[in-house]
Amino acid sequence: MLLSPPMRRAKVAAAKKKTAYHHGDLRRALVTAATAAIEEAGEGALTLREVARRVGVTHPAAYRHFEDKTALLAAVAEEGYVVLADAIERALGAASSRPRERLRALAVAYVDFAVRSPAQYAVMWGPRFNTDGRFPSLEAAIRRVYELVAREVERGQAEGDLRPGQTRDLAIGLWVVGHGYVELVARRRIRVKSREKAIEYFLTLFEPWLDGIAVKR
Amino acid sequence: MLLSPPMRRAKVAAAKKKTAYHHGDLRRALVTAATAAIEEAGEGALTLREVARRVGVTHPAAYRHFEDKTALLAAVAEEGYVVLADAIERALGAASSRPRERLRALAVAYVDFAVRSPAQYAVMWGPRFNTDGRFPSLEAAIRRVYELVAREVERGQAEGDLRPGQTRDLAIGLWVVGHGYVELVARRRIRVKSREKAIEYFLTLFEPWLDGIAVKR
DNA sequence: ACCTGAACACCGTTCAAGT
DNA sequence: ACCTGAACACCGTTCAAGT
C-alpha cells in the first residue's frame, strides 16, 4: 500500500531519528553537544555524561566513537582550528593586496574568532594534547592555521614591506601577540566592554608590533 | 626527671610533628604540597584528596582552611605571583639604568619564572578566578606584578627612550608578548631544547617589539 | 555494528562526632 | 579550635549483554 507524501515524510523522519546514530552521526552529535556545553558552562564543567545526556544516549555509547574524554576534547579543538582557518581564509580573500593590511585582517579574524568562542578557544589551548602524535589530525589543523600566517609574512617580505630574514620568527611573533592578547582578554586581565572594543584595542597594541617588523622607507 | 639534650630535641621534634598542624601550619603545608603535586603531574591531575594524603591528613581537614578546591588553587596562584614579583624586583635591582635594558631584564625574569614552573604558571592563568572579588589578595598579587611593568615603562617614557602616550598600552603590550610567548612554549607550539634556549629565542622575538615602541634617534 | 545496564574506583563536599 | 569517619551525589571507564 502506498503512503501519501506527508505520511512518507513523517515515517522517514521517525526512522531517521531512531537510527541516525547508527550511521556515524553520534560522533558529530557528541562534538557539537560538547562544544555547546563548554560554551555555556566552561571547560571545567564539562562531563562526558552531560554530553551524552544532551544527545539523548547513555554515556558509555561515547566510547564507541572516542577513546576517552581527552579524545572528545581533541575533536572539539580540531573543529575549532578548522573553523578558525576558514575564517582567516575568508578575511584574506576580502582584504587588499597590501601586506600590512593583510596581516591586520588576518589578526583581526583570529582575535574575532577567539572572543566569539572563548571557551572553545580555551580548549584549543588545553594542556592535554601535548603527548606527541596522539592526535595527528588536530596537529594538522593547527599547522594549517600556522601556514596561513607564515604565507602572509612571506608575502610581506617578498614585497619588501617586512624585515627580511627568518619568516618563521616573524610568524611566531605574530602568533605570540595574537594569542597573548586573546588570553589577557579571556582571563580578564584587560576589561573590554564589547567584542568590537576588544578588536579596536587589539589594533592599538598591534600597530607598534607591525612598526617593529616593518621596513622603514 | 631531666632529659639529656639529644632526647629533649627528639621529644620536641616529635611533639612538633604531631601538633604542628594545630598552629595554622596546615594551610601552608597544603599550598606547598599542592604546588609540588601540580608541578609533578599537571593541574588536571590534582585532587584535594591527594594533597591531603601528601600532607598526612584526612581530606576533609582541608576544608578548615580553604572554602573549596578552587580556593586552594587560588592560594597556589597567589603564591606564584608573589614569587614572580620578587624575581622581577631582584632582576631590576641588578640591571643597569638604561630603560631598554631594564625592560629586557624584566621580561627575561618573567619568562624564566614561567619556564621553570610551568604548571604553577598555568594555575596562575586558570579560568577559575574570574568571579569578581572572590580572591582579593590574589588580585593584589597580580596587580603588584603589573605595577612593576608599568613603572619601568613610565621610566622609559620619562627618559625619552619609549614612545610617549598611554603608559598602560605599552605595559599591556609587554605583558601580551611575554605571556603569549610563554604559552606557545608551554603548549609546545614552539619546541625549545632548554630553558636557556627558550630565553634566547624569546629575546629574538622581543627585540622587534622593543623597536616598535622605541623612539628613534 | 552500535548501544544499554550494571559495576568499579575515585572524586568534591558535608556533617556529626571525637580530642 | 582543629581533625576524623562516614556518607552523598557525581564522575570516567570497563564490560557483559542486548538488538
List, in order of start, the domains of chain A with CATH numbers: 17-66 (1.10.10.60), 73-217 (1.10.357.10)
- Grid-cell match 625592560, residue found: B103
C-alpha cell at B38: 601540580
First-to-final CA distance of chain A: 82
Quick one: pLDDT at residue A128?
Answer: 74
CA to C1' distance (Å), from B118 to D15: 39
Q: SS3 for A214?
A: strand
Cell numbers for A7, please give them.
505520511
Q: Do residues B185 and B171 touch, judged by C-beta distance below 8 A?
A: no
Query: Nearest residue to nucleotide D11 when comparing alpha carbons to its C1'?
Result: A47
Question: Considering only CA atoms, which of B46, B78, B86 is closest in space to residue B62?
Answer: B46
CB contact under 8 A, B122 and A125: no
Question: Interior CA angle at B114 toward B192 and A177, to 5°?
Answer: 75
Amino acid (1-letter code) at residue A11? K
B45 CB neighbour count, 10 Å cutoff = 11
Minimum Cα–Cα distance from A212: chain B residue = B212
Residues of B in contact with A204 (CB under 8 A): 169
Mean pLDDT of A124-147: 89
Q: CA B56, CA B130: separation in Å to the nearest integer?
A: 32
pLDDT along chain B (217 residues), means of 10: 32 40 81 96 93 96 96 97 98 97 98 97 86 88 97 97 97 98 95 97 97 89
- Nearest to residue B124, comparing CAs of B85, B166, B160? B85
A41-99 residue pLDDT tens:
999 889 999 999 999 999 999 999 999 999 999 999 999 999 999 999 999 999 999 99
Distance CA B64, CA B41 (A): 25
Q: What is the reported pLDDT for A1?
A: 31
Does residue B51 contact residue B72 with C-beta atoms inside 8 Å?
A: yes
**Confidence band of A9 (pLDDT split at 50, 70, 90):** very low
Q: How far apart are CA A170 and CA A161, in angstroms?
A: 13
Q: Which nucleotide is nearest to A22 (CA to C1')?
A: C2
In angstroms, the first-to-last Cα distance of chain B is 82
Determine the 3-state secondary structure of B135 from DSSP: coil
pLDDT of residue A184: 97
Assigned C-alpha cell, B216: 628613534
DSSP H stretches of helix in chain A: 5-19, 25-41, 48-55, 69-94, 99-116, 118-124, 136-158, 167-186, 195-213
Counting residues of chain A whose pLDDT is more than 90, the rounded percentage is 82
CB atoms within 10 A of CB A86: 13
State which protein residues have CB closer than 7 Å to strand D: A 46-50, 59-60, 63, 68-70; B 21-22, 24, 26, 57-58, 60-61, 64-65
Q: At what angle do helices B69-94 and B25-41 cross, to 10 degrees?
A: 80
Name the interface residues of B facing A (CB cutoff 8 Å): 42-44, 122, 125, 127-128, 130, 142, 163, 169-170, 172-173, 175-181, 183-184, 186-190, 204-205, 208-213
Contact B88, B148 (CB under 8 A): yes
Number of CB pairs, chain A paired with chain B, less than 8 A apart: 97
Q: What is the largest CA-CA distance in chain B?
A: 82
- Distance from A70 to chain B by nearest Cα, in Å? 11
The per-residue pLDDT for range B96-125, each reduced to its tens digit, is 999 999 999 999 999 999 999 999 999 999
| pTM of the predicted protein model | 0.90
The answer on pLDDT for A6 being more than 90 is no
Indicate the burial class of B120 (C-beta count within 10 angstroms; 0-12, 13-18, 19 or more). Answer: buried
